[in-house]
Amino acid sequence: MKTYKIASIPGDGIGKEVVPAAIRVLREVENIHGGLKFEVSEYPWGSEYYLEHQQMMPEDGLGTLKHFDAIFLGAVGNPDIVPDHISLWELLINIRRSFEQVINIRPARTFAGLSSKLANSEDFDFIVVRENSEGEYSEAGGTIHQGGDKVAIQNAIFSRKGTERAMKFAFELAEQRRNKVTSATKSNGIYHTMPFWDEVFKDVSDNFPEVQTEKEHIDALAASFVTRPERFDVIVASNLFGDILTDIGAAIMGSVGIAPAANINMNGKYPSMFEPVHGSAPDIEGKGMANPIGQIWTAKMMLDHFGETEIADQLLTAIESVIRKGIVTQDIGGKATTTEVTDEIIQQLAEVT
Ligand code: NAD
Ligand code: IPM
Ligand code: MN
């Protein structure tokens, strides 16, 4: 019996709806493939936990998570009760940083039966490789008083090691796909970090002569995602640019509710974490409206990470057929509830395998 130990953290809001949905799908995977077992341990860490314990997870939370094969997270954030910069930095960002999950992989593509209201193309398929550990998300800086004025200073940190690592990852991924990497830059306006980003991109690209490269300023690139998304194969972006681009990637697919993501630890010292692009969506919490596809496709990425690629592909086929049949939630034009979509994916999974 092949067993995978998964730490599940539903978190806040719709995370508590879509994580159980995705776990149900994993249970069906177990039913179908007798030799496979997912040992899931659930941790109730999030904003409500914070109200009770004044921390987002126990003191030894990271020590607990360290021993798992993967972390499966829904979303964190309930700004009505805990400020986002506390909830996110103590849980989500803390795990990404502490477990050296330095790369965030975020695909976006078209699906038959789901026509995007936004994208000016019926056919695109790209992956954003987001640098996940430094860049604009740094703790460096602070507030100072300048004369009578209070000033907030935020330092962005771009190390050669971190930048090169993300870019190398992007090129290697492109080699397995359509051999093209686009760099999200802003070296025309951001004085120090972005010219450095371009310099590293040039250096890394020299090692991949067969891969076509281009760089595009983030403002123009954001527009191109909408107007000509079919142009892209792999896009490499800094932490913040990658964050913004991947919500656009989600929107052109049809909804942020379907976009998956994987936070990858590359040195094998810690588990990787799988959590969709979307957040806790407090506006639709408890209404049965949450699209579970983002979380379920994220589970597919976790299966790929485990090396279970055949099963992962079957799961994606099941998602594709449910989308094609239109048994989907409101955000992508359907009438189904979270549970109905999940039921349908489970049924399709049984049929495709
Ligand atoms: P959000 O992604 O939660 O919501 C944006 C919009 O998309 C909302 O209208 C929401 O209803 C919709 N949406 C999101 N997921 C959906 C789904 N699965 N199905 C259908 N519709 C969906 O972004 P936000 O409103 O900026 O953030 C809400 C909270 O989540 C904040 O606390 C934020 O910090 C946090 N957040 C957490 C994560 C994470 O944990 N990975 C990611 C993003 C935002
Ligand atoms: C994401 C989220 C997080 C990020 C927030 C909630 C801190 O937007 O995972 O895309 O910016 O990384
Ligand atoms: Mn985001």
What the chain holds in terms of domains, given with CATH numbers, is 1-102+259-353 (3.40.718.10), 115-253 (3.40.718.10)
Token digits of residue 122: 């019926």
**Cβ < 5 A residues, ion ligand 3:** 243
- Residue 116's pLDDT band, with cuts at 50, 70 and 90, is confident
Ligand number with the minimum distance to the CA of 130 = 2
pLDDT at 238 over 90: yes
- Indicate whether residue 284 lines ligand 1 (CB < 6 A): yes
Distance of CA 106 to CAs 128, 160, 234, 333, Å?
A: 5, 22, 10, 23
Ligand number with the minimum distance to the CA of 256 = 1
Q: Whose CA is nearest to atom 6 of ligand 2?
A: 88
CA pair distance 182, 232, nearest whole angstrom = 7
Ligand number with the minimum distance to the CA of 84 = 1
Distance 77 CA to ligand 2 centre (A): 10
**Beta strand pairing status for 180-185 and 212-217?**
parallel
pLDDT at 339 over 90: yes
Q: Where does ligand 2 bind, in terms of residues with CB under 6 Å?
A: 88, 92-93, 243, 277, 279
3-state helix vs strand vs coil in the chain, percent to 5: 45, 20, 35
Q: Give the model confidence (pLDDT) of 85-110 as tens digits.
A: 999 999 999 999 999 999 999 999 99
Residue 19, pLDDT score: 98
Mean pLDDT of 339-348: 98
Q: Give the model confidence (pLDDT) of 170-189 as tens digits.
A: 999 999 999 999 999 999 99
Q: Give the model confidence (pLDDT) of 195-212 as tens digits.
A: 999 999 999 999 999 999
Mean pLDDT of 303-315: 97
Mean pLDDT of 154-158: 97
CA pair distance 300, 308, nearest whole angstrom = 9
- Indicate whether residue 291 lines ligand 1 (CB < 6 A): yes
Ligand 2 atom with the smallest distance to the CA of 275 is: 9
pLDDT at 326 over 90: yes
- Indicate whether residue 281 lines ligand 1 (CB < 6 A): yes
Mean pLDDT of 216-224: 98
